[in-house]
Structure 1
Amino acid sequence: MTESVEETAGPAGTQGPGSEPAPAPEGGYPAARLRLLQDDTAAGPDRRAALARLTDDWLAGLLTRHATAAGLSGTALVAVGGYGRGELSPRSDLDLLLLHDGRADPGALAALADHLWYPVWDLGLDLDHSVRTPAEARKAAREDLKVQLGLLDARHLAGDPELTAALRSTAYADWRESAPKRLPELHDLCQERAERQGELQFLLEPDLKEARGGLRDATALRAVAASWLADAPRGGLEAARTRLLDTRDALHLTTGRATDRLSLQEHPQVAEALGMLDADALLRQTYESARTISYAADVTWREVGRVLRARAVKPVLRGLLPGRGAGKGERSPLAEGVVELDGEAVLARTARPERDPVLVLRAAAAAAQAGLPLATHSIRRCAEAAATRPLPVPWPAEAREELVTLLGAGTYTVPVWEALEAEGLVTRLLPDWERVRCRPQRNPVHTWTVDRHLIETAVRASALTRRVHRPDLLLVAALLHDIGKGWPGDHSVAGETIAHDVAARLGFGARDTAVIATLVRHHLLLIETATRRDLDDPATVGAVAEAVRSAGTLELLHALTEADALATGPAAWSAWRGGLVADLVKRVAARLAGEPEEEVRPADEPTVEQQRLAAEARRTKGPVLALHARAETPTAPEDGSGTDESARRPVGVELLIAVPEQSGVLPAAAGVLALHRLTVRAADLLVLDPGGASPVLLLSWRVAAEYGSLPDADRLRVDLVRALDGSLDIPARLAERERAYARRARAVLAPPPRVSAVTGSSRTATVIEVRAQDAHGLLHRIGRALETAGVAVRSAHISTLGANAVDAFYVTDPDGEPLADAAAHELAAAVESALG
């Protein structure tokens, strides 16, 4: 390896006040530097090296000229950190150490330093600098790990080369002597940084340097190698690091700033600068590079932990614990041909992967079930064997069972799967995986890339296997449910075909293959129907029953729906959503069983609370409000050890509003909530129309305060009355709020809203579905557009998922009839135009 941690050799410097004016930039360096950066033919490692050489010559000239003029000897200018490695990105800072033998006059030495530092500052370049003797540098390194690591990259620029050579020699000797004690400290720094910055391979706006799998980790691996205690896997590591450096170069040139964060708005320009097809190609390459570095770091730190345990060095690296079974050097059987050794799952001495193509899956399943990492050398032996003797197609039953066992191991599945993927075994076993590998998901609701989301869904599904009769079908469907995202068009439709082929490849029978394909095709059916459709409409239940066709498939689809949502991110699942899905499943199960449908309360038969509010609204001839505080039930951790407090949902409020039927209620109520900074998490609107009494609109909202405390119900009622009688100008107030919000809010790159008419999904009304970026007053604008169109909203189902609003409105014409298809599409276009 050729890199160490990119840290400075001293405290960061900034230009401060002084009586001496800053010297003008020397020679032609600024112009030459600019020409190099503008040269389209120079890029990548060659440009970084050329920029370093150019800067070397400039700084060496400065030192030689001013040291000679001052009659100073016994000094040397040394580059450290990234500059020490001879790699300079366009806006990289310069890490410099002015080394001296201690004999120079302090005043003359300070003047020499000024002649070096001020020209750098005058060019607008960041500078980390220090002035030290070799003994002082060595002392600083002993006291500060970052300084010690920076000295590993010390490179002579000018002056006395013996000073630099002596410093490098002692720096490496000191590091190797102290490494057993300091490597745990370095590991903790890496862990803390990862917790703070996240994993580069999953971030939409990653920090190319600081995030886990970034340039800091790549350079930390060189420091480990320099200790002679362990070394990183070399395959692809240098190429991955180079790609991240190239991306950072393009980012610097695109933004003109010394930034390492790849912001969303910079993706297209950086991709173009690198000659890539589009922003997704840029992200995918970035994720692949980060994954290579992360895997190398995992393997390296595990080896460091093993070495330190063997030397009985304490403390053991955080998170790298010894195996739970066999003692040091002892082998404990895990499965046929697989044993535990020194905290890893390894191939037994008698194992012959070239004769046993199922061994790789057996070893992976055994490792995951035991909660152990799978040794790198064992994976590579299996990869070499798989190249010459792959699994037969269709797979034998044992191979299929081992895959299901691996998928059902819970959280331990993830590191084992990642190890297989790093060595190319996943795409060899499942060729269709290549299209989803490292594929980004730009919807902020999603936490993971497509491939990691599939594994996370299997992890979540593994906790639900006791709820289904066929856990194997559930786990395989979880692994494949988004496999179609690597293809154009509707990923569910494409995924159905791919899943059918993969299931057959795995050796499932025709009936099981059809079930897996159906689960993939309809993996979004339950959640979308439950949150966007009227469950009291018989057509809703009938459509779902027709799609799933059997109670067994429905049972599996229910579990898959929950696992998929839980693996998506914290905004995708809640007790409320789970309740809606469960209610839908119950009704569909009854339909499939041929049982008479459970009698449901018609919309005009209200609950006791609704009756009270409706009666009060009729009596007062005005709106009546009721607030009920509620909190979502915390989820339980997968190990069953009580409540996971980190999963607790914020407390929200159920707001019921009853209003005598009149025009403008929906936009008025939505506007009042927006003015009071209430975020609508979900909502329903129903018309209560009992015989002999005037109709009442009932709005049931689930809201949460955007910030601060919840408003008083009386204040909401007063504002609603004013909105309905026109004395409160909701559009003007919201426009003012949006202007104020825009001044402080960060711009979000969001796709345009999409409004569609879902014809044929209800016999009594027309369904208008709205998908848009959630924003202040969105529901108010939708309501106004529907009112302007002259349609009646008979019911509405509002759902907010992260930053996205997905709403369904059941509308009729003034006579209470569904709209004609042409009119429905015109209405959808009008609403979309109002939101654009």
Structure 2
Amino acid sequence: MSDLFDKLPQRRAIIDRRKLGEQLAAIAAETNDTGQRRRAMVALLKEALGAGHSEIAHRLLEAPSHGRLAAQATAFLIDQIVRLSHDFTVDHLYPSGNRSAGERITVIAVGGYGRGEMAPHSDVDIGFLTPFKQTSWTEQVIEAQLYTLWDLGLKVGHSSRSLEEMIRAAKEDLTVRTALLEGRFVWGDRDLYDQAAARFDAEVVAGNARAFVADKLAERDERHKKMGDSRYVVEPNVKEGKGGLRDLHTLFWIGKFIHRVRTVPELVDAGLLTARELRQFARAENFLLAVRCHLHTLAGRAEDRLTFDFQREIAARMQFAERPGKSAVERFMQLYFLHAKSVGDLTGTFLAHLDDQLAARGRRFLPSIRRRPGKLNGFVLDRGRLALPSDDFFEADPVRLIEIFALADKYGLEIHPQAMRQARHDAKLIETQGVRRDARANALFLDVLTSPRDPETVLRWMNEAGIFGRFVPDFGRVVAQMQFDMYHHYTVDEHTIRAIGLLADIEQNRLKGDHPLSTAIMQQIHSRRVIYMAVLLHDIAKGRGGDHSILGAELALRVCPRLGLTAAETETVSWLVRYHLLMSATAFKRDLADFKTILDFAQVVQSPERLRLLLVLTVVDIRAVGPGVWNSWKRQLLTELYDAAEEVLRLGHKQRGREQRIANKKEDAQALLGMGDKDFAKLAKRLPESYWIAEPVEVIAANLVHIQKAGSAPLHIAAVPDDDRGATLVMVLAADHPGLFYRIAGGIHLAGGNIIDARIHTTRDGLALDNFLVQDPLGRPFDEADQIARLTRAIEDALANRQKLLPKLEARALPRARAEAFRVAPNVFVDNKASNRFTVIEVNAQDRPALLNQLAHALFQSKVTVHSAHVATYGERAVDTFYVTDLLGGKIDSAARVKSLEKRLLDAAGADEEVEVA
């Protein structure tokens, strides 16, 4: 009998099999009717199953971190239900007094159930095994038991095989082979189970270790790729994700297949884990199982993705508390990622042990790139990997803890997992032996950081070994720290390392197609060390309870000199960290056609070198946020801002290039259209100077075609997909009147469009020319004819007032479930200094469908004219900026009027009594 549940306390409080057995015997004695017996059995077991789940849920709340006990308790509960139902089926539903040798059944638990690890809504994976082909009696028993389990509400994964069929399926199918590897006897004929186990060992396992290991590692790599290939995605999959439970299972499966161990502790005797690594394995598994059990309980179903809406609730259930600068949910997720990192560490050392056991002498079992370096400074090569000559090698000279990574980078070598394990163990020497103050250590670290080869990979190794955070303690504080929002996809340390990798890619011309300007600029930057250090430090002060840009700038003044930067370099790094969000905020939230925007930006930047550095830092920061965050629209806005600011810094504040820029744009637009001088001049004179500055050449050309086609029509709407910007350009030429902007916005939203930018122009002959960049709900352009027709029709209906906009929009605006985990308190900023001509209004609010329309309607009610609107979204947060005047074209500077405007916009943004007005 299995000793799997021997340490499970008070098992009878979960389910009392003896008592239930007596009650089932009483049911059988009451009636001979098979149907009545079965219904009564199901009712009794259903009640017992519910009571057992309630007891386990109560225990999990009482001891919320004891995941292994909760998972084992669930498996124990299912075991007793299966046993009771099997006995009742065999003895009272389909009794057979004279069974043949072939009428034997064994019930086997496989998969997670076989391991004794079940979350509340895990599948019950069972196998029914018979000695030979099934008889009519075994078919009846198996079918009856399955119906019982289904009637109990269990999700059953099942197979029914003869002994021969089982062996054949295991040989042919890796999934079956893996499931049976964890097979555990539950009930039935024990001799048949023992026979099956012996044949499985002899015919499936023996001699096939190498093939199984290769298959499982390939399967793991494919799974990681599917799940995002990072341990540090902020909504991880607890079971299948990198660093999740399945990675631990894979190690156990491999060890079990090779050495036929029954439990994880036996992997120590097999030489695949040390005692310390076993404790690491147990801690990580216990925590991940706890998270998975809480997740299933809260979801009420089998759910393994730890989404934002569950993270906060699980943090509360697991009794995490707030700390200064760090919320309870961020502390919970930081521990989650530390455990995921621990799983990655275990995997590396486990595979190294495996390599040693399976490889032929002097060769590698697992594939690798072999490189031959020159001097190794005492380190040795072990089958192409950088290794240690002895276990006390780091202790003899702790600077080697940094040097091993510098050598790996210099020669393109992998580091032996045993050396990584020793580095993790000896990382504390960095603190106790003064390594941070050692000039050689700091120079080696700077070499790795600014490497022209692959700094991302080596810095990630340093991070996983725990060396990075020890050597740069401020970086250590953000290791595994998540950012609880829908914008950031990775933890702070992973985001930073990815950004450094992107910087190296840009410098090495590997991203020239995506980032042509940044690639060109990297060749002009005077100090590579400054830009790499700025990328390293830009988010280093997150989670400290203040503005991370200001706090980070102060940290840079302390960290940079220690790492060997000059006073001038340190000052520049500090400035870059302080203003690393300035360029994106200006480009995405302000009107770049307003010259005051450019002047204000240039006044902060002050030098062309700082501008170059800031652009590159901004690009890699945005790109490293996560997939899909960078797009061509952002590239264009940043390029426009860079070009305009570069001109101001080069020529001064006289804007001497304005007339030339307008002339160039007219020339380029005419060439693009292939239009004659006379026809072009006729169209061009209808547009004011401000229009030519505001719009790019491609939009100008589209607008001129639009105006030409409109002729004398009172309304003309056109939509042109723009793949470069990843959006559709919607152009509306109409008689100008109050409310035009909010009605167009409403029509676009009703057609399913999201507005990402809007510019409102007035032609010299008094018509409104409004340009909107619009995307579909998935962030793509509207490019099909029926989509564009629907968009055009919706705008026409809105302008003709054919339908009540607000009720329709409210009916359409379904909330996003994930966004409900967040609360963004609306804020309104009214700024009369940001522009010489306009009042600039910035609204921060929870993103939702038709938000822009509701804000535009509030502006209409406030009797202001919108001249341009700029929409930026950062996950769940929307930032909408409007350049407005009063109806006479003046700024809104009356205090009473500003207060009234703020209140209307806050109401439209969904404010409650707790929000602030800034």
Aligned with residue 294 of structure 1, among 335, 344, 352: 344
The Cα offsets for residues 83-122 of structure 1, whole Å up to 9 and x where unpaired, read as 22233332333333344555x9823433443564444333
- What does residue 248 of structure 1 align with? 292
Provide the rounded CA distance (Å) in 2 between the counterparts of 1:671 and 1:378: 62
Q: What letter is aligned with 1:698?
A: L
Provide the rounded CA distance (Å) in 2 between the counterparts of 1:796 and 1:399: 51
- What does residue 268 of structure 1 align with? 312
Q: Is the 8 A contact 1:549 1:592 kept in 2?
A: yes
Provide the rounded CA distance (Å) in 2 between the counterparts of 1:574 and 1:111: 61
- What does residue 657 of structure 1 align with? 732
Quick check: 1:434 aligned with 2:476?
yes
Which secondary structure state, in structure 2, belongs to the residue aligned with residue 92 of structure 1?
coil
- What does residue 513 of structure 2 align with? none
- What does residue 205 of structure 2 align with? 175
Aligned with residue 677 of structure 1, among 752, 755, 758: 752
- What does residue 837 of structure 2 align with? 764
Quick check: 1:600 aligned with 2:600?
no
Provide the rounded CA distance (Å) in 2 between the counterparts of 1:118 and 1:666: 62
Q: Is the 8 A contact 1:201 1:286 kept in 2?
A: no
Provide the rounded CA distance (Å) in 2 between the counterparts of 1:136 and 1:98: 11
Which deviates the most, 458-467 or 299-308?
299-308
CA apart distance, 1:304: 5.3
CA apart distance, 1:129: 3.4
Q: Is the 8 A contact 2:754 2:774 kept in 1?
A: yes
Pick closer, same or farther for the CA change 1:135–1:746 going to 2, 3 Å: same
Aligned with residue 48 of structure 1, among 71, 87, 96: 71
Pick closer, same or farther for the CA change 1:697–1:394 going to 2, 3 Å: farther
- What does residue 569 of structure 2 align with? 512
Provide the rounded CA distance (Å) in 1 between the counterparts of 2:758 and 2:868: 10
- What does residue 643 of structure 1 align with? none
CA apart distance, 1:496: 2.1
Q: Is the 8 A contact 1:374 1:416 kept in 2?
A: no
Provide the rounded CA distance (Å) in 2 between the counterparts of 1:268 and 1:547: 39
Provide the rounded CA distance (Å) in 1 between the counterparts of 2:257 and 2:134: 37
CA apart distance, 1:185: 1.8
Quick check: 1:281 aligned with 2:331?
yes
CA apart distance, 1:453: 0.5
Instruction: Report 1:62-461 matches (<5 A).
Output: 62-63=85-86, 70-71=96-97, 76-102=106-132, 106-114=135-143, 116-173=145-202, 174-199=204-229, 201-228=231-258, 231=272, 234=278, 236-277=280-321, 278-301=328-351, 310=360, 321-326=367-372, 332-333=373-374, 336-338=377-379, 340-347=381-388, 352-388=393-429, 390=431, 392=434, 395-409=437-451, 412-461=454-503
Aligned with residue 699 of structure 1, among 741, 760, 770: 770
Q: Extract unaligned runs of 5+ from structure 1.
A: 4-18, 327-331, 633-648
Pick closer, same or farther for the CA change 1:182–1:817 going to 2, 3 Å: same
Pick closer, same or farther for the CA change 1:176–1:804 going to 2, 3 Å: farther
Aligned with residue 856 of structure 2, among 761, 783, 789: 783
- What does residue 714 of structure 2 align with? 622
Which secondary structure state, in structure 1, belongs to the residue aligned with residue 887 of structure 2?
coil
Q: What letter is aligned with 1:281?
A: R
CA apart distance, 1:473: 1.3
Q: TM-score, normalised by structure 2?
A: 0.76
Provide the rounded CA distance (Å) in 2 between the counterparts of 1:195 and 1:20: 50
Q: Is the 8 A contact 1:623 1:717 kept in 2?
A: no
Pick closer, same or farther for the CA change 1:579–1:403 going to 2, 3 Å: farther
Quick check: 1:497 aligned with 2:497?
no
Pick closer, same or farther for the CA change 1:627–1:411 going to 2, 3 Å: farther
Q: What letter is aligned with 1:657?
A: V
Q: Is the 8 A contact 1:427 1:434 kept in 2?
A: yes
Aligned with residue 540 of structure 1, among 597, 611, 615: 597
CA apart distance, 1:355: 4.3
Aligned with residue 817 of structure 1, among 878, 883, 890: 890
Q: What letter is aligned with 2:344?
A: S
The number of residues matched between the two structures is: 785
- What does residue 325 of structure 2 align with? none
Q: What letter is aligned with 1:544?
A: F
Provide the rounded CA distance (Å) in 1 between the counterparts of 2:449 and 2:156: 50
Which deviates the most, 609-618 or 177-186?
609-618
Q: What letter is aligned with 1:769?
A: E
Provide the rounded CA distance (Å) in 1 between the counterparts of 2:752 and 2:806: 15
Provide the rounded CA distance (Å) in 2 between the counterparts of 1:410 and 1:710: 48
Provide the rounded CA distance (Å) in 2 between the counterparts of 1:47 and 1:528: 48
Which secondary structure state, in structure 2, belongs to the residue aligned with residue 201 of structure 1?
coil
Q: Is the 8 A contact 1:541 1:587 kept in 2?
A: yes
CA apart distance, 1:530: 1.8
Pick closer, same or farther for the CA change 1:240–1:301 going to 2, 3 Å: same
Q: Root-mean-square deviation (CA), in Å?
A: 3.9
Quick check: 1:833 aligned with 2:896?
no
CA apart distance, 1:243: 0.9
The Cα offsets for residues 295-323 of structure 1, whole Å up to 9 and x where unpaired, read as 4335545765787664899xx99xx6322
Provide the rounded CA distance (Å) in 1 between the counterparts of 2:863 and 2:641: 32
Q: Is the 8 A contact 1:531 1:577 kept in 2?
A: yes
Provide the rounded CA distance (Å) in 2 between the counterparts of 1:222 and 1:338: 32
CA apart distance, 1:429: 0.9
Q: Is the 8 A contact 1:337 1:359 kept in 2?
A: no
Provide the rounded CA distance (Å) in 1 between the counterparts of 2:85 and 2:469: 55
Which secondary structure state, in structure 1, belongs to the residue aligned with residue 500 of structure 2?
helix
Q: What letter is aligned with 1:321?
A: P
The Cα offsets for residues 781-820 of structure 1, whole Å up to 9 and x where unpaired, read as 2221111111222333334566654332122233433223
Q: What letter is aligned with 1:49?
A: Q
- What does residue 39 of structure 1 align with? 58
Q: What letter is aligned with 1:702?
A: L
Which secondary structure state, in structure 1, belongs to the residue aligned with residue 829 of structure 2?
strand
Provide the rounded CA distance (Å) in 1 between the counterparts of 2:628 and 2:50: 52
Q: Is the 8 A contact 2:111 2:182 kept in 1?
A: yes
- What does residue 580 of structure 1 align with? 637
Pick closer, same or farther for the CA change 1:333–1:379 going to 2, 3 Å: farther
Pick closer, same or farther for the CA change 1:615–1:563 going to 2, 3 Å: closer
CA apart distance, 1:598: 3.8
Which secondary structure state, in structure 1, belongs to the residue aligned with residue 415 of structure 2?
coil
Q: What letter is aligned with 1:767?
A: V
Provide the rounded CA distance (Å) in 1 between the counterparts of 2:841 and 2:532: 35
Q: TM-score, normalised by structure 1?
A: 0.83
Q: Is the 8 A contact 1:571 1:802 kept in 2?
A: no
Q: What letter is aligned with 2:178?
A: L
Which secondary structure state, in structure 2, belongs to the residue aligned with residue 354 of structure 1?
helix
Counting aligned pairs with the same residue, the percent is 27
